[in-house]
């Protein structure tokens, strides 16, 4: 990953989504038009906590989020999602 410069605002997280599956379990190749956006990713950057809301997510966490959560960004050719901590539904351990 490229070193990202800048900072994220309070209560926000930057997530790198997991790549969509290219094949089914039985070996059938899935075309790009039929692929679903992944709803899981790895947290890359974390903003500071809000005044009334502690930050419960940290860098490196695998998180699950809603289908339409966050804002899609492309930074140096890599896709990311910028979302609020409250858009995260589950943190995997």
Higher pLDDT, 36 or 90: 90
pLDDT digits (tens, 9 = 90+) for 25-82: 677 776 666 556 668 899 999 988 888 888 889 999 999 998 888 899 888 888 899 9
Looking at domain 12-92, its CATH architecture is Roll (2.30)
Q: What are phi and psi of 23, to 5 degrees?
A: -135, 155
Using CA atoms, how far residue 49 sits from 69, 71, 84, 93, in Å, is 19, 19, 11, 21
User: Closest Cα to residue 37, out of 4, 84, 81, 74?
Assistant: 81
- Report if pTM > 0.85: no
30, two tokens: 């899935």
The pLDDT of residue 82 is 93
Tokens 């990953």 belong to 1
Provide, for the chain, the percentages of residues in helix, strand and coil under a 3-state DSSP scheme, each rounded to the nearest 5. 5, 40, 55
């Amino acid at each position: 990953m490229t070193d990202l410069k800048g900072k994220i605002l309070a209560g926000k997280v930057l997530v790198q989504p997991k790549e969509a599956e290219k094949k089914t379990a039985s070996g059938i190749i899935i075309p790009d038009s039929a692929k679903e956006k992944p709803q899981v990713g790895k947290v890359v950057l974390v903003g500071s906590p809000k005044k009334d809301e502690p930050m419960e997510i940290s860098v490196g966490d695998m998180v699950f989020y809603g289908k339409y959560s966050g804002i899609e960004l492309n930074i140096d050719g890599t896709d990311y999602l910028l979302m609020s901590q409250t858009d995260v539904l589950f943190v995997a351990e």
